[in-house]
Structures are given as C-alpha cells and as structure tokens.
Amino acid sequence: MNAPVARRAWRGLPGPARGAGTGAVVVAVWALLASVMQRGLPLGIVLRGVVFGSLIALLAIGVVLVYRANRIVNFAQAELGSVAAVLAIEFKLVWGWNYFVAIGTGFAMAAILGAIIDAVVIRRFHRAPRLILTVATIGLAQILKALSIIIPLLFGGLTAGRFETPFEMRFDIHPQVFNGNHVMVVVLVPLIMIGLIAFLRFTDYGIAIRASAENGDRANLLGIPVKRLSTLVWAMAGFLSATAVILRIPLVGFASFQSVSGSGNALLLRTLAAAVIGRMESLPRTVVAAIGIGIFQEAAAWQYSDTDFVDALLVVVILAGLFLQRDHFSRIAESGISTWKSIREVRPIPRELRNVPEVRWATLGVTVVLTTVAVTLPLWASPSQEQAAALIAIYAIVALSLLVLTGWAGHISLGQFALVGFGGAATGVLYGRHGWDLLLAIPAGVVFAAAVAVVIGLPALRIRGLFLAVTTLAFAVTAETFFLEDRYVPWLIEQRITRPALWGRFALERGWQQYFFCLVGLLLAIAAVRNLRNGRTGRAIIAVRDNELNAEAATIDATRTKLLAFALSGGLAGFAGGLYVVNQQGLFADAFGADTSIRLFSMVVIGGLGSLPGAVLGAIYVRGAEFFLPAQYELLASGMGILLLLMFLPEGLGGLVYRVRDGFLRWVARRRSIHVPSLLADSRVDDDPLTASVSIDPSESTGASPQKEEVGV
Amino acid sequence: MQETRKDPLRFGPLAVVATIWVAITTFFPTDEPGGPASASTVAAGPGATTVVGSTGGGTVATSGGAAAGSGGAGPAVTAGGASGGGGPASRATGGSGTEAVAAGASGVTKGGLPCEPGVRQLPISSYAHPCQPAWSGDNGGATHRGVTAESIRIVIRTFPETANSQAVAAVGEQAGAASEEDTEMVFRTFLDYFNEHFETYGRTVELVEYQSRFGNGTTEAQSKGREEACLDADVVANELNAFGVVGTTAAAVSGPFAECAAQRGVVVFNGAAYFPEKFYDALHPYVWATTMECERISYQVAEYLSKRLVDRPAQWAGDPLLQTQSRKFATYVPNNDEYQHCVNITESEARRQGHGDANVSRYNYTLDVSRFPDEAARGIVQFKADGATTIVLACDPISVIFLTQSASSQAYRPEWFLIGVALQDTDNLAQLYDQTQVDGHLFGMSQLGATPKLIGPASEPGRLYRHITGQTIPDGTAGGYTGLHQIFNLIQAAGPHLTPDAIAAGAPTIPPGGAPDYPFGYWSFADGPDGTPGAGDHTAVEDSREIYWTSAYVSPETDKPGTYVETYGGRRFRNGEWPAEEPPVYPAG
C-alpha cells in the first residue's frame, strides 16, 4: 500500500478508531523509548514534557496568529507579555495582592501593551518589506526584555520568591511531583485553545481575522477593518505571552536577576519549530508539535543530564518534523515566502548617466573619500579602534555571505555566524595544531565551511523560507553548545593560536596590521561577490530564486544552483572565519551563538539585503555604532536604536543611500535633459508627457545586464 | 553550453592561481606559532623597552637575607602559543632575570619601619610581603610596557553604570554596602600608604581607572563577550600602556578578558575567578588571582566529602526519610570546559579513595542566565529520582535560588552542600534562597572570611585605616585591601627588574600570608592545587573554612534574618587538613 492510499484509508476511518490508532502508536513509541533509553522514560517525565510543551504552545500560537495577521515572524513573542507578567508577579510578591487580581491585571496589561505596540510600531511598517518588520520585532524583543529585568529592581529591589497558584494539591507520578501549578497549565492551556478556536471560527471578528489572514488586500476591499484586526491579534499575542510567563513562573521559580520570559534563543527555537511544523496556520497542529517538542526535550534532558545534548538532538527532531511537513505547505506559507522574498534589489547607475561628468566625478569623489577614510584610519583611530575596524571588516564579509544566500538565493539564514565558526575552526586547527601555513589553512577553512553549508543546504532542496530559517536557527543554537564546543569536538577546536607574520615578513600583531589584513580580505570578498553577481552564476542563483521552473526550462540545474549558493555563501563565511580566528587568537564556541547570527541578520536587513554596499553598510552601522561612538550614542545599535531607525527608514540604510543617489542622478538627468526610464519609473510618468511612451527594461530593475535597452522618447 | 561546462580547461585560471598560491606559501612561509609573535614581543608593546634577560643594577641596604628570584631568562612561555613548557614548579624558577630580593633582612624599610626577619613590610598586615630594607640603585627603567623608572601603571577596569547596575547598587547600599565615594576614599588611602611602604624599587604604582568602552558585565559574567573583552584589553595594553590590570568586580576581569589581556602581555592581578589552574597555566605568567582556583576547591571538596560526610547518614536533610540514609551526592555544575574539568577532579578523587559510588547523580547546566530556571527544575527532578541525599552546589548563586525553589515544588528536602564559589556563601544572596529549604540544611566550605573579619573597625583593613587616618573605616567596605596586597606583594617579590616573568619568578617565593589569623585565608603561590608542596599555582588563597546557614541570627552584612555561621571558631583548612569527623554544624540548642 503506497503512502497516498494509506493516507486516504486512514482518513476514511471513523474518529474513535483514528483516536485509538493514534493512541496505540504513541504508547508503542513510548514503550520502545522506555526500553531503549538507559534511564528509561517514566510517565512523569512525559507528563512534565506535556506541561512545558503546553507553555511552548501558547507562545507558538501567538507566533502563528501574528504571522497570519502581518506575515512576519514575531521574535518578540516570548517577551511581549513579560513586562505585564513581571508586574503581576511583583504585585503579588511585593504588594501582597490576591493571586487572581494580580494575574487578571497582568493579562489586561499584556493585552493593552500588545495593542499599543501594534498601533505605535507595527502599523508604521504597513508598507515595509516583511523582513524589515521582522527585524523590528528583534529590536522590540530587546527593549521588552530590558524592561522586564529593570522593573523588579526599581519596584522592590532584588527579589526572589515563590509565585504560586492558590490551588493546594499534590500527586506523584514518578519521578515528578505534580501540584496545582502543573494542573493549572494542563487545564488552562486547552481552555485557551478551545476559546481561541471558537473565537476564530464562530465570531465575526474571528472570521474576519481568518479572512484577512487568507488575503489581506481582498479583505480590505471587502470593508474588513484589517488594521483594527491586526491590533486585536497583537493584543491576543500579548495575552498569550503573559499567560505563558504567569503559568511558567510557578513551575520554575522566580528571581529578579533575569528575564522571566524563558530560555532565550533555545525557547525561540522551540517556539518557531512548533509554529512552523504547524505550517504557520493550524493551531491544533501547532499545539501538538509544541507538546511533542516539550516531551522530547524533557526526555532527552532526563537521559543525558546535559542540555547541550538536548539541543543537538532537537535539531534532528525539528528537521524530521519539517521534512514530514514539506508536502503540506499551505497557500499561506507559500504566500508568506513570496512576501519575504520581495526585497527590492538596487539598480545600478543607469547606462545613460554613467559617463556623464557629474556622475563620474561624484563616483570618483565617493571612491576617493571612502578610500581615504579606509587607508588613513590607523592615523586617526586608536589601537583598539583599529582592532574594532578589523572586526567590522570581518562582519562585513559575513554580511556579504548572507547577501548571497538571502539576498540572491532567497534562503533566510539565522545561523550564518555558525558557519564562520566552522571556517575558523578548520583554519585554527590546521594552522595552530597541525602547522599548516596560514595562507593554506584559510582556503582549507573556506572549503570546510562551504561543505558544512552544503549539508545545511540539503534541506533547502525540500524546504524554503521560514522553514529553512528554523533549521538554520537550530544549527546556530547547537553550533554554540555542541558542534563547536571543545569538549565534544576536540579534534576541530584550537582555542589558542598566535598571530603569524605573513610570508615571514608582515606581522599581524598590532591593531593596524590586523586592520589592513582584514580590509584586504574584505576587498577580496567584495570583488568576488561583484564578479559573482555579474557572472552567469549570480544570474542563475537569482533566476532560480525568482522562478525555479522557468530557470530549469532555461537549462539551469536548480538543485545544483541552490547548493552552489549555499557553498559560495558558506565559503565566504568560512573565509571570514579564517580572519576571525587570527583576529581573536583562537576559537571559543560562545562567539558563534544564535544571538550573533540573529544580530548579523538584523545588520544585513538594516543595511539592505538588495545590495552589496547595503550589506556592508549594515555591518558598519551596527558594529560601528558600538565600537566607535561614545557610550551615550551606543543606543543607536541597541534594540531601541534599531527599532527607531527602521521606523523612520523602513527601507534600511541602504535604501536611504540609494534614495540620495537616485535623487542626485535625477538632478543630473534633469540638468542634462537626459530621460532615464529606470529613474522615472519611481515617479509619476504622466507628469511629463515626453516619458509617457517610455519602455522600461525590466532587467534594470533587478540589476541584471540588459540585453537590449530602449531609452525614452 | 553543455560542452563548455564539461571543458576542464575552464578551471585553468583557478589551477594557475592555486599553484602560484601554494608556491608562494612554500617559498615564503608564514611564521608558525612561537615565531615573531611570541610573548617577548607581545609583552613589549609600544613605547616600552624589552630587556628580557638583563638584570637591574641596584643594591639593597641589607645586612643579610635570603635571595629570591633567579637570573637568566629564557623566552617566556607565550600566552597565545601552544601552552605547556614545564609544570608550575619549573616555571617558578624560570626566567625573570630579576636581581636577588633581600626579603626578611635587617635594616629599615622604605616606609621607615625597622625590618627584621619575621616582620612584614606592613607590620599590621598578616598578608604583606616579608619586610626588606629600603632599596636603592638602578631599577632598569622601562623594563616592560607600563613600567618606567618612576612608575608602574596598573589599570582598574570597571563597567559603565546602567539602570540595572544602579538599581543593584542602591539595593546594596540599603543592605549596608558602602557608597561608591566611601569605597573610593578608603581605596585611595590604602593605595597611597602601600606606595609609601611596600618596596617598589623606586617606582610608584599608578592605578588608572578605565571604564569599559566595549564590554558588558552581564555577558562577561557568563564567560562570554570575548570580542568586546579583547577590545578592552587592547585599550588597556596599547592605549593606556598598562603593565597590569585589576577589576572592581569578578566580571571586570572575567575569563575572556583575562585571556585577552594575557595575549597582549598585560598582567592580570585578580583575573578569572574560580577558573581551574590549567587555565592560568596556559596563560602563564600573566594571569593571577586571590580567589582559589577551582582545581584546589575540587581537591578540598573531595577530601571534605570523603573524610566528613561519606558513609554517614544525611542527618541535616530536611526530609526525615533522607536523614536516615547514608549520604549520596548529586552535583550541579555548569557544562563549560573549566568547571567540568574541576568537577571531574572531585569525582576521580572520590573514586580513587573508594567512594565513587557515593556520587549518584550529576547535572550539567548551561551557563546562560535565561536558562537557569528550567535547568534547575530538571536537575532537581533528576536528583530526587536518583536518590541523592546531598546536593553539591558547584554552581552560581542564582542557580541556587532556582534549585531551592524547585526542590520545594518537588517536595524534596535534601542537604545542600556549599563549595564556596561565586559568592554563594554570602549572606545577601543566601537570603534569596528558599529558606524552607536551606534553614538548617545548608552547610559546607567557604573560601571567604566572616564578614566582621573582612570589613569593619576590627578587621585588618579597619585597623590599618585607623592607623593611617586615626578614623574609623566607613561601614561596608574594605577599600580593595586584598587586591592591593596582591599587587604590591607580587611587585615587591618581582624585584627591581619588573616584567611578567619576574612576577612569576617572585610569586612562589613569597612566604605564606595570613597565618595565624587567616582573616582572608592562607595565601601562597608555592603549592600545587592538590597540595603538592612546591608545585606552585597562580592563586593566593589555599584554605577554606566551614560554615552553615541559619535564620536564627541576624546577618551583620544585611541586618536581616539569616546568616552563615562558621565552625571551629572560623578555623581554616588547607588540603589534607580537614578533620575526619562529622561537621559540627547545627549544634543542638
């Protein structure tokens, strides 16, 4: 019996029979695991997994709702309700409020805060690319997290205490003691689920939310108040987030030293994985996935007594879950992916203007200024700033690698910096331990990182967009805790190396020496990426991204091209890793965590994914603000700074730069009376009857070399 | 098109470039580790003269005395290169090029005090270097970066204030900690006095405050943030031209920062608290500390458990059922290299002594503050299931808060055993532990001294402050007393030709400090972590006391109920000295 037939037969069974069948499979799997695992798999651990999985489910549902309303991944979901929740906890612990009054107040505040965030922040990004809004939520998460840590300190000093439900009960299911706190979770979460599903199915607002999720523009045309619904969704997301925190704290305890929201990137990974396995659409499926992940993590922790192993194994489970879902991508998910891709690529200077003296002089002027700044930096920068500039150059190379993968190939990577780690590890161990020449060790690191990238890219042959993003996030989390950790892969990690003298002549010890070494590396990377973009490979990568079938019809091997994009991107990241390990004089896994990769992703989006200078600019902005500006201006690179920047420059810094450039080019075109179609495409053509008949070459808008060109009039 | 793709000649340019590249690296190889980037170059830094191997030409107004240090320096073991090169003992005699230091000779000290054998440079101090007559002569001038004929520059690294840190500081002041101004005033008083009285061979120690431009305290406290820590180390080494660095908090001289500073040839006088000796060893001769490294703690924990707890009922467990059972231990420890290494030592020692079976469980948690609550909850469930009667807290104090809360939630009431790391043995943090769990059930080792002996008018710093100023020391501060001792002791022991190697050569020659009163512990760099005499290490404190937690008394630190009480009147024990008897904690009545 083949799979489709079996599936049809399964669906044909009556409900009770399917329930019994599912139950039998679950019990069989449990029995199998219990007999295979060294410590067994007691029922108490499974139920504990159900409880913690239910809390993941609350967050994942929030992610799904926001995704459906705004087509973004809300990185702030876990933190969204933390401010209100921590206030509720302080009301009870410090002010002695009644439990129900405290949590009721917390729920209300969370919902209101969610609505306010939508009104103040989210709506401003209504017309911005979704990636921009997604990065804005990263900034939002940082702000909310900081607030949730500071509030208790301002409120009542350092506090620790038991914030518990008032239900007195206790029962043992080996090895776990369950009490009212656990019961509260298993009762409340299903009730919330049922309420939510009923709301979405049977109320006008719920139906309207679903309608606008299916097609926001059509819903808007039909008179549905899409913006108001978005506010409602964010209020619900805030409520769900606060509920997750308020239910979780009684289970794990409270101390005002850290965010109450949960487990950082590890929780983010679990939440996103559940939402993605639920196809960003199905709430019941999301809940089941979350509970499955919860059970798995508790079982693995029980077995290995070390979270590093849990994270490593979770990657396998998430990948398996995503692969099983591959054939079930919904229209929503697919449309989401296409929305995510819609980054406008920057067009080159139009041919008509390239040789105009003003443009040539301006180009030369900018080049001279940039070159002067770059070359003279050691004259005016301090030694630490030279080192910082070297680091910025390395980050810029990684940003370029992300440009290739995300900007060109359309694959979102939240684990790019982990590839830097692999390249650096190979370089470090070959140079530091095996005595290879550094200039041979670096290319070897490039090859190794490219190979790792191809392995990560294999799922990309089957999954895309958000789905691949979760895979790469899992890769980043485990790279830090497992795959680049000296304890687990001692053959790969050389923690301490000395900086060499190139060719026995050029020492790399001082700040300025490091700076020029990395600057040369960046220039090589820029040259490589430019050549790649202008060559057949770059065009093929973009063609496959834009339309795989069309590309294949043009004899482009889509599979090979996708993997090539991963390999090239990984190679660039590996090259950066080689420079990084020399700069840092060794390699430690903690530098390659998901935080850094997510930050890198933010940098590139802030700069502009559509262009090479934009990607570099993003790295310079974020790290440069941290390194070069006085302390009072470091806020620019913080969550608040990123959020404000994106609120006022939704197209990112790259967009600003190109707007200025295009303004200048228009001025030149007007001054010289040159009609340039690609520039006029942005403005109202009916203003000038001369341009009404302009034929616009679409290849210009994607930056490809035009085969033919028609100039207006 | 297909034919073009299969044409192997298309790889021709690539092959040519690769061949040229290989040829270049073959004929003009990049220097391997240990080449020009070795420690001597790193240590020299800009603006300093490296005179490794030479000796100063001074004389000591002495009428006898033992020589310390040695001449004839070889190249230093590089901080960044392949580590190794002999054990601590061999390093102790290796290469400072320092002239003999006449410690313990008769004469008059720099501060004008009479010096005789057995007298310390500061007679009021139990920790000061043995006195030596005032020195005069040529100190070699700029012997290392940050050193001139007149001064030694040492940077104090701090973190900028944040809303979070201000709130924590305010809470600290409410709890009796001194204000920043008072602490600074006491510190400057001690600094001036130490400069006047310690033998610094014609130089004055300049302490320059540097507020971190790049780093983040919270991140570094979790042993992360290496990039930023290294940039700060660049500032310290290459912009402030410092010889050494100290921090106002443990995070300010975190493991990552200490490593970066060492790579740049800067001496860290109190770095990487609680890291293992192997870490300091790899960065020799640059990183030193007062706090006990965790290898020695591990040996002491193994000894304590074996002699005093194993094969005895867990009588201080909260659960009556556990009280009757023979002790079984569960260890909660971060899963990073350093701490895993140390806990492995404890377990292997226990096995060696035939008590391996007593260790029934271990949970390795991720050193990420956002994961602490979940990790603690899982650890407790596991410990309970494994039948542990006694939980060994090889962890940070925040985790202890969550562990105790989770234990209450699980109706699990074991014994809690302190090993003394990361301030888990301070009253203000222990008051945040779940008191139903720890009151009457928390005891173990502490490397700190009792608060009244560390700060306050009766303490050693309090007495010195009164001696200098005639006034009572402000409440809640010791003014960085131990840190200053560490700096000045090491500098005096290094001799006139001051280099990191000279510090390394001088450190093991400093006679033990602290005896017989041990207010801050027994200090020595002479013995190995396992107590092997002469094996050497890089951290000063060598002993621990025994304490237990009770809510029956008010804390002198915080004026709130709950404090640690010490046994044996605060007596401290080095490796091999722990008595083989039940701990006298929680005496009846």
**Mean pLDDT of the A219-240 span:** 88
pLDDT of B3 above 50? no
Q: With contacts defined as CB-CB under 8 Å, which chain A residues touch B258?
A: none
- CA–CA distance, A54 with A291 (Å, rounded to integer): 6
SS3 letters for A405-425?
A: HHHHCCCCCCCHHHHHHHHHH
Contact assignment for A252 to B80 by CB distance below 8 Å: no
Q: Which residue has the higher pLDDT, B56 or B324?
A: B324
Nearest residue of chain B to residue A297 (CA atoms): B378
**Span A16-41, pLDDT tens digits:** 887 788 888 888 888 888 888 888 99
Judged by DSSP in three states, B571 sits in coil
Does the CB of B423 have a partner CB in chain A at under 8 Å?
no
Determine the distance in angstroms separating the CA of B215 from the nearest CA of chain A, rounded to an integer. Answer: 10
Compare CB distances from B80 to A262, A497, A627 and report the shortest one's residue.
Answer: A497
**Span B277-321, pLDDT tens digits:** 999 999 999 999 999 999 999 999 999 999 999 999 999 999 999
What are the CA-CA distances from residue B94 to residues A14, A180, A347, B33, B76 (Å)?
A: 83, 65, 65, 21, 8
**Span A312-365, pLDDT tens digits:** 888 888 777 777 766 555 454 555 544 444 456 667 888 888 889 999 999 999
Contact assignment for A301 to B378 by CB distance below 8 Å: yes
Q: With contacts defined as CB-CB under 8 Å, which chain A residues touch B234?
A: 383-384, 387, 511
How many CB atoms lie under 10 A from the CB of residue B34? 15
Does the CB of A262 have a partner CB in chain B at under 8 Å?
yes
Does the CB of B216 have a partner CB in chain A at under 8 Å?
no
Tell me, what's the pLDDT at A337? 47
Contact assignment for A504 to B29 by CB distance below 8 Å: yes
Per-residue tokens: A438: 């550094």
Cβ neighbors of A28 (< 8 A, separation 6 or more) are none
Compare CB distances from A585 to B263, B361, B406 and report the shortest one's residue.
Answer: B263
- CA–CA distance, A82 with A261 (Å, rounded to integer): 6
Compare CB distances from B369 to A258, A498, A584 and report the shortest one's residue.
Answer: A258
pLDDT of B86 above 50? no
Q: Name the packing angle between helices B372-385 and B397-409 (round to 10°).
A: 50
Does the CB of B263 have a partner CB in chain A at under 8 Å?
yes
Contact assignment for A252 to B366 by CB distance below 8 Å: no
Tokens 């101004």 label which residue?
Answer: B181
Determine the distance in angstroms separating the CA of B459 from the nearest CA of chain A, rounded to an integer. Answer: 28
Compare CB distances from A253 to B28, B335, B405 and report the shortest one's residue.
Answer: B405
Tell me, what's the pLDDT at B58? 41
Compare CB distances from A264 to B361, B370, B402 and report the shortest one's residue.
Answer: B370
Per-residue tokens: B123: 């007679």
Q: Is B267 left (phi over 0), alpha (psi -120 to 50) or beta?
A: beta
CB B453 within 8 A of CB B570: yes
Global confidence as pTM: 0.86
**Mean pLDDT of the A62-90 span:** 89
Kindly state the percentage of chain A with pLDDT values over 70. Answer: 88
Highest mean pLDDT, choosing among A196-205, A640-649, B169-178: A196-205
Determine the distance in angstroms separating the CA of A496 from the nearest CA of chain B, rounded to an integer. Answer: 6
Q: With contacts defined as CB-CB under 8 Å, which chain B residues touch A481?
A: 366
Q: Could you tell me the pLDDT band of residue B545, with boundaries at 50, 70 and 90?
A: very high
Test the A interface: residue of B2, B213, B266 with most A CBs within 10 Å: B213
Per-residue tokens: A523: 């220039």
- CA–CA distance, A432 with B74 (Å, rounded to integer): 23
Q: With contacts defined as CB-CB under 8 Å, which chain A residues touch B21?
A: 439-440, 443
**Mean pLDDT of the B179-191 span:** 90
Kindly state the percentage of chain B with pLDDT values over 90. Answer: 62
Does the CB of A169 have a partner CB in chain B at under 8 Å?
no
Q: Which residue has the higher pLDDT, B230 or B12?
A: B230
Kindly state the percentage of chain A with pLDDT values over 90. Answer: 41
Average pLDDT, chain A: 84
B 13-42 residues with CB < 8 A to A: 21-22, 24-26, 28-38, 41-42
Q: Could you tell me the pLDDT band of residue A682, with boundaries at 50, 70 and 90?
A: low
Cβ neighbors of A226 (< 8 A, separation 6 or more) are A212, A216, A219, A220
SS3 letters for A478-509?
A: HHHHHHCCCCCCCCCCCCCCCCCEECCCEECC
Listed residue (A674, A682, A713) closest to A357, CA to CA: A674
Residue type, A75: F
pLDDT of B100 above 70? no
Determine the distance in angstroms separating the CA of A177 from the nearest CA of chain B, rounded to an integer. Answer: 5
Q: With contacts defined as CB-CB under 8 Å, which chain B residues touch A508?
A: 37
Judged by DSSP in three states, B289 sits in strand
Does the CB of A149 have a partner CB in chain B at under 8 Å?
yes
What's the length of chain A?
A: 713
Q: Which residues on neighbouring strands pair with residue A255, listed in sequence order?
A: A160
Compare CB distances from A501 to B21, B36, B374 and report the shortest one's residue.
Answer: B36
Tell me, what's the pLDDT at B341? 94
Compare CB distances from B364 to A253, A306, A627 and report the shortest one's residue.
Answer: A306
How many CB atoms lie under 10 A from the CB of residue B76? 26
Tell me, what's the pLDDT at A632? 61
Contact assignment for B171 to A153 by CB distance below 8 Å: yes
Q: With contacts defined as CB-CB under 8 Å, which chain A residues touch B434?
A: 162, 253
Contact assignment for A253 to B402 by CB distance below 8 Å: yes
- CA–CA distance, B113 with B120 (Å, rounded to integer): 10
Q: Could you tell me the pLDDT band of residue B45, with boundaries at 50, 70 and 90?
A: very low
Q: With contacts defined as CB-CB under 8 Å, which chain A residues touch B340?
A: 487
Average pLDDT, chain B: 84
Per-residue tokens: A654: 């790259």
pLDDT of B85 above 80? no
DSSP-assigned states of every residue in A149-198:
HHHHHHHHSS-EE----S---EEEETTEEEEHHHHHHHHHHHHHHHHHHH
Contact assignment for A439 to B373 by CB distance below 8 Å: no
Nearest residue of chain B to residue A633 (CA atoms): B213
Tell me, what's the pLDDT at A654? 80
| Residue environment code for A333-345, b if the CB has 16+ CB neighbours within 10 A, otherwise e | beebbeebbebbb
Contact assignment for B362 to A305 by CB distance below 8 Å: yes
How many CB atoms lie under 10 A from the CB of residue A447? 15
Does the CB of B315 have a partner CB in chain A at under 8 Å?
no
Does the CB of A380 have a partner CB in chain B at under 8 Å?
no
Quick one: B153 exposed, middle or buried, by C-beta within 10 A (0-12, 13-18, 19+)?
A: buried
Listed residue (A65, A3, A411) closest to A241, CA to CA: A65
